[in-house]
Amino acid sequence: MSNRRNWLKQTSLGLVGLGIIPLESFAMPTKQDILEPKEDSLIRLKSNENPYGPSALAKNAMSTSIKVSNRYNWELLEELIREIAQKHAVTDQNILLGAGSSEILNVVALYASKKTGNLIIADTTFDYWTITAENAGLKKITIPLTADKKHDLSAMLNAIDSDTRLIYICNPNNPTGTICANEALLHFIKEATKRTKVLVDEAYLDYTDQPSLANLVTENKNLIIAKTFSKIYGLAGSRIGYALAHSETIEEMNQLQFATNGSVSVVSASGALASLKDHKFVAETISLNTAARKYTIEQLEQLQIRCIPSHTNFVYFSLENYNKDFFEQLKKNRIIGTKIYEEKGKWSRITIGTMKEMQQFIKALE
């Protein structure tokens, strides 16, 4: 099974292995779930999807575009690239599209692996994609998070040596939900990119007030930003994301895609284009997520479950003081959570669903 599929099924498989979740309860919606969603179907709090998406504008655009799906549509992709460039105040040459930001991470992994050396990454972070870099010959060096579960930027900077080809910063970080302070991150980028490439994954940045680093790529050949439509835009199943980088860097990276920008379908591109215009949907998602996240953290803490303050649509928490069998409670209540990320402290993560889902989640734990 490919690593990608492993990632999609990650926690369910682990839990199945442990006998915690039966095989039939994979978090993937069944065909039936998609065609006729039922009120009482599984509560999916595993993969940090947006429970409210896609936006109404995106759904409309996507259903209309089905009719022209018999055609390649390079013009539509060009239009999408133009819109993304405008959003970030960069040029079209600074953008590369992919089938989800997973494809972008994969391309960056291959790009950084053109010369042998090492890759520096936090422990714990979103690291499924690094298998590509390791298979292509890079050695992975992991740098522990700080005690408050943040990237240790100075330790990561100190770890750079003449063999370092790439440093990955997930900001905000998955699974911990923590964010790097803007000033500290800017300083880190300035110093680190003098010596190596830096990949900043902004998958969840839209849930915060922090500005994107996109504007830096026009001047900095060693900085690559990964973005996705899977989270705030609610298009996880559509598989669309993009990279922002210097035009020369994009040109080198697109050699590693069989057809440049070509893995994005007409339907996904239409949905993404419409989503970029649906500011109301984004604002609503943020406000609903903030309310459900606040509720969840308050309730978890009442249950003596320590939470890390979150800047995302998920929460990282310690089950150390929780006396029941957490995964058994989820299973009994048809809730799909994820795994234990760190044995020490029994740290796990829950996606913020709708308020109703989070109330069901809390009730299941009480």
Ligand X SMILES: Cc1ncc(COP(=O)(O)O)c(C=O)c1O
- Residues in touch with ligand X (CB under 6 A): 47-48, 100-102, 126, 170, 174, 201, 203, 228, 230, 236, 241
Strand partners, 245: 224
Q: Please, what is the minimum distance in Å from the beta carbon of residue 170 to ligand X?
A: 5
Between 174 and 196, CB nearer to ligand X: 174
Dihedral of the CA atoms 101, 103, 104, 109 (nearest 10)? 130
Between 13 and 362, CB nearer to ligand X: 13
Alpha helices for 195-235 (secondary structure H)? none
Which among 77, 89, 69 is positioned nearest to 242, based on CA atoms?
77
Strand partners, 241: 98, 228
Q: Is 75 exposed, middle or buried (0-12, 13-18, 19+ CB in 10 A)?
A: exposed
Q: Please, what is the minimum distance in Å from the beta carbon of residue 260 to ligand X?
A: 18
In angstroms, rounded to a whole number, what is the distance separating the alpha carbons of residues 28 and 163?
Answer: 40
Between 117 and 241, CB nearer to ligand X: 241
Between 203 and 305, CB nearer to ligand X: 203
Between 226 and 292, CB nearer to ligand X: 226
C-beta separation of 8 from 29 below 8 A: no
Q: Please, what is the minimum distance in Å from the beta carbon of residue 143 to ligand X?
A: 17
Q: Please, what is the minimum distance in Å from the beta carbon of residue 98 to ligand X?
A: 8
* DSSP helix/strand/coil, 200: strand
C-beta separation of 82 from 102 below 8 A: no
Q: For the chain, first and last CA: distance in Å? A: 37
Q: Please, what is the minimum distance in Å from the beta carbon of residue 235 to ligand X?
A: 8
Q: Residue with CB nearest ligand X? A: 100
Between 322 and 353, CB nearer to ligand X: 353
Residue showing tokens 């940045």:
205
Between 55 and 102, CB nearer to ligand X: 102
Angle separating helix axes 74-88 and 266-277, nearest 10 degrees: 30
Q: Please, what is the minimum distance in Å from the beta carbon of residue 126 to ligand X?
A: 4
Between 237 and 309, CB nearer to ligand X: 237
Give CA 308 to chain center in angstroms. 18
Q: Is 177 exposed, middle or buried (0-12, 13-18, 19+ CB in 10 A)?
A: buried
Q: Please, what is the minimum distance in Å from the beta carbon of residue 49 to ligand X?
A: 8
Between 168 and 322, CB nearer to ligand X: 168
Q: Please, what is the minimum distance in Å from the beta carbon of residue 332 to ligand X?
A: 26
Between 55 and 299, CB nearer to ligand X: 55
Distances (CA, A) of 149 to 2, 113, 172, 174, 317: 29, 28, 11, 10, 11
Backbone angles phi, psi at 169, to 5 degrees: -125, 120
In angstroms, rounded to a whole number, what is the distance separating the alpha carbons of residues 352 and 312?
Answer: 9
Q: Please, what is the minimum distance in Å from the beta carbon of residue 328 to ligand X?
A: 25
Q: Please, what is the minimum distance in Å from the beta carbon of residue 315 to ligand X?
A: 14
